[in-house]
Structure 1
Amino acid sequence: MPRIDLNLLTALDALLTERSITGAARRLNLSVSAMSRTLMRLRAATGDRLLLQAGRALVLTPYAEQLSQRLPALIREAQALLSPAEHRFEAATLEQSFTLRAGEGFVDLLGAALMDRIHRAAPGVQLRFTSKPDWNAQPLREGAIDLEIGTVRTSAPEIRTRLLFRDRYVGVGRLGHTLLSGTGTDIRVEDWAACAHVVASRTGEALSPVDVALEALGLQRRVLMVVPSYTSAMQVAHRSDLLAVIPRSCLGNRFTPDHAAANGLQWFELPVLTPAFNVSAIWHPRLDQDPAHRWLRAEVLAVCVEAYQRDANVEDSLKSTR
């Protein structure tokens, strides 16, 4: 395929619009002789004379008349293709499906709010949430996952992250549980550890930061059940005398207030100190500058900010973790 000088399109547009070599030269800030040479190149490229002398003026050939109708749209398209990507992005016309990997708690508590926000801005977008059995970064590298939401537990050096909100652990038990029969405060750590517990663990391991804190005190929980998710742990705690430890965000947010109480649970501060942790958006750097992905990340962040950082109850409970 012969090499094509796209600058000739701009010159052709100027010549056909001005119908004057002098006018086209002035428009493109070129000399008249340079514009004449460009016209000769255009005539050679198109096989048409394009502009013909008619007295003191120049007139367009029939082929040039056709080109004058097609050229403006063609130039606009070429400029759009060669401009920075973000200048071409419009959420309202986006037709795309995004695959997100997140825990059940995020989907249950924020999935509807996120979809509502996205649908209002981009009705052609679909969200596909997949299960999160582990923290393997390979699906992000391969493009099987567009965005992951959760704690960062990968050693992959290239992975990008952005903090969505801070979280911490609290305890929950069914309404009327004997340990919570009083005010639910000042629970003795020995009494709490002696109760039966259900533990949420994707890997099946029962050890958690809570158990590390207990071990430092010479104590150990009586774990009777291990389930794969916090939502499952909450359901088990609701229907039994087992206690569970869950992130504070699972209790509810601005979009789903009193989620724990609505599920028959009462929450309490843990009688041991555990570190707060970050919940982040996680993605591969090949999507850093993709305008649609940047927009998606911004929407996820906005929902999390609205859900948790503007929730007075959550703000009060997280002050000590910042």
Structure 2
Amino acid sequence: MTRPDLNQLITLDVLLAEGSVARAAKRLRLSPSAMSRALARLRDTLGDPLLVRAGRGLVPTPRALELRERTARLVEDAQGLLRPADVLNLKGLSRSFTLRTSDGFVETFGPELIRRVAESAPGVRLRFVQKPDRDSGPLRDGSVDMETGVVGAVIGPEIRAQALFRDHFVAVVRRDHPISDMTAAAYSAGRHVGVARRGPDKGPIDDALAPLGIERDLAVLAGGYSAVLALVSSSDLIATVPQRHTEGLRHGMTTFSLPFAVAGVTVSLLWHPRLDADPAHRWLRDCVRAVCGHRAHGLPDDPEGS
């Protein structure tokens, strides 16, 4: 079956609206002869003369009258579809966004993000869900609008990433802990609580300790930073956690710099490319970026796609 030439819709719309080959030609910036040929092609396509001579002018056939409104609506809809998106009306925006984050992010950045969003777009609802893994599936299938995390090899190659902030690890103990100075000896002698991993228990901290001949005693493993720090707050355990990411979880605890060098991490905002140009999604990305203080923490000014 031959595919229809959709460009003929515009020609048909103008011809039926003008009822004149000459006026239609002028409106479409064609010569009268080119417009006559276009009308001939439409007659052949539709099997109807469309416009017939009546005295010195042309009048529409019943088929043309039947098509006139439908054609105008189709052309109007197509033009609206191909126009750039309207300016975003935040006050009138009614939409829900799902953000997938590791625990600690909501406690640290959530209150300010909620305040900022409510102030600009009171009809927007935020839904925070836990991030148990780095699988990009929820971003691909649309069940999650965006998520935060450290970009790794398991992230889908098409996923967009925007750096939010640089973080570094610190040691955390309860306020009245016997350790008053976190030396390498005190750190290695202590009992530690860490985050349970899906793979091996070893992580960047253990990798940094290995060349020093130090192996920490991971006495307890818990499901996330909230559980890790809850255990620390009521025991003599030591936790090693990212400083900025867990700021909202460490109230009332004592934080020490680590007595050895550990590489920091960059926490990024992740989303699927189909949402790149969505005005509301772009606005929310800007809100998250502003709340996380991207520029204030030494990252390059790369608003899209770090």
TM over 0.5: yes
Q: CA deviation at 1:28?
A: 1.7
Q: Separation in 2 of the partners of 1:30 and 1:178?
A: 89
Aligned to 2:232: 237
Q: CA deviation at 1:142?
A: 6.7
State which of 280, 284, 304 in structure 2 corresponds to 1:299.
284
Aligned to 2:261: 273
Asked if residue 3 in structure 1 is aligned to residue 33 in structure 2, the reply is no
The answer to whether the Cα contact below 8 Å between 1:172 and 1:244 also exists between their aligned partners in 2 is: yes
Q: CA deviation at 1:190?
A: 1.0
Asked if residue 224 in structure 1 is aligned to residue 209 in structure 2, the reply is no
Q: Which amino acid aligns with 1:218?
A: G
Q: CA deviation at 1:2?
A: 5.5
Asked if residue 187 in structure 1 is aligned to residue 177 in structure 2, the reply is no
Q: Separation in 1 of the partners of 2:112 and 2:47?
A: 60
Q: 1:101 to 1:193 in 2, by over 3 A?
A: same
For the residue of structure 2 that corresponds to 1:249, the secondary structure is coil
Q: CA deviation at 1:107?
A: 3.3
Q: CA deviation at 1:30?
A: 2.2
Q: Which amino acid aligns with 1:307?
A: C
State which of 260, 263, 280 in structure 1 corresponds to 2:250.
260
After superposition, residues 13-28 of structure 1 pair within 5 angstroms as: 13-28=13-28
Q: Which amino acid aligns with 1:110?
A: F
Note the alpha carbon deviations across 1:112-145, whole angstroms, 9 max, x for none.
555665675594776462431x334566667766
Q: TM-score, normalised by structure 2?
A: 0.76
Q: Separation in 2 of the partners of 1:124 and 1:58?
A: 54
Identity value in percent: 36
Q: Which amino acid aligns with 1:71?
A: T
Q: Separation in 2 of the partners of 1:271 and 1:46?
A: 82
Q: TM-score, normalised by structure 1?
A: 0.73
Q: CA deviation at 1:237?
A: 1.0
The answer to whether the Cα contact below 8 Å between 2:164 and 2:293 also exists between their aligned partners in 1 is: no
Q: CA deviation at 1:94?
A: 8.1
For the residue of structure 2 that corresponds to 1:135, the secondary structure is coil
Note the alpha carbon deviations across 1:10-69, whole angstroms, 9 max, x for none.
112222333321121122222222222322333444455433444433344555445444
The answer to whether the Cα contact below 8 Å between 1:114 and 1:300 also exists between their aligned partners in 2 is: no
Q: Separation in 2 of the partners of 1:289 and 1:167?
A: 29
Q: Separation in 1 of the partners of 2:222 and 2:287?
A: 31
Note the alpha carbon deviations across 1:197-253, whole angstroms, 9 max, x for none.
21123237543333333333333333321112111111111122222111111343x
Q: Separation in 1 of the partners of 2:150 and 2:279?
A: 20
Q: From the two aligned structures, give the one with the greater helix fraction.
A: 1
State which of 273, 298, 301 in structure 2 corresponds to 1:288.
273
The answer to whether the Cα contact below 8 Å between 1:202 and 1:229 also exists between their aligned partners in 2 is: no
Q: 1:308 to 1:206 in 2, by over 3 A?
A: farther
The answer to whether the Cα contact below 8 Å between 1:150 and 1:281 also exists between their aligned partners in 2 is: yes
Aligned residues: 295
The answer to whether the Cα contact below 8 Å between 2:109 and 2:291 also exists between their aligned partners in 1 is: no
For the residue of structure 2 that corresponds to 1:245, the secondary structure is strand
Q: Separation in 2 of the partners of 1:23 and 1:271?
A: 83
Extract unaligned runs of 5+ from structure 1.
Answer: 181-185
Q: Separation in 1 of the partners of 2:108 and 2:53?
A: 74
Q: Separation in 2 of the partners of 1:192 and 1:128?
A: 35
Q: Which amino acid aligns with 1:57?
A: G
Extract unaligned runs of 5+ from structure 2.
Answer: 300-306
Q: Separation in 2 of the partners of 1:291 and 1:90?
A: 16
Q: 1:137 to 1:173 in 2, by over 3 A?
A: same
Q: Separation in 2 of the partners of 1:125 and 1:52?
A: 58
**Aligned Cα RMSD in Å?**
3.7
For the residue of structure 2 that corresponds to 1:179, the secondary structure is coil
Aligned to 2:157: 158
Q: Which amino acid aligns with 1:306?
A: V
After superposition, residues 56-67 of structure 1 pair within 5 angstroms as: 56-61=56-61, 64-65=64-65, 67=67
Q: Which amino acid aligns with 1:16?
A: L
The answer to whether the Cα contact below 8 Å between 1:163 and 1:279 also exists between their aligned partners in 2 is: yes
For the residue of structure 2 that corresponds to 1:178, the secondary structure is coil
Q: Separation in 2 of the partners of 1:269 and 1:310?
A: 23
State which of 184, 196, 199 in structure 2 corresponds to 1:201.
196
Asked if residue 172 in structure 1 is aligned to residue 172 in structure 2, the reply is yes
Q: Which amino acid aligns with 1:75?
A: V
Q: 1:230 to 1:156 in 2, by over 3 A?
A: closer
The answer to whether the Cα contact below 8 Å between 1:164 and 1:301 also exists between their aligned partners in 2 is: no
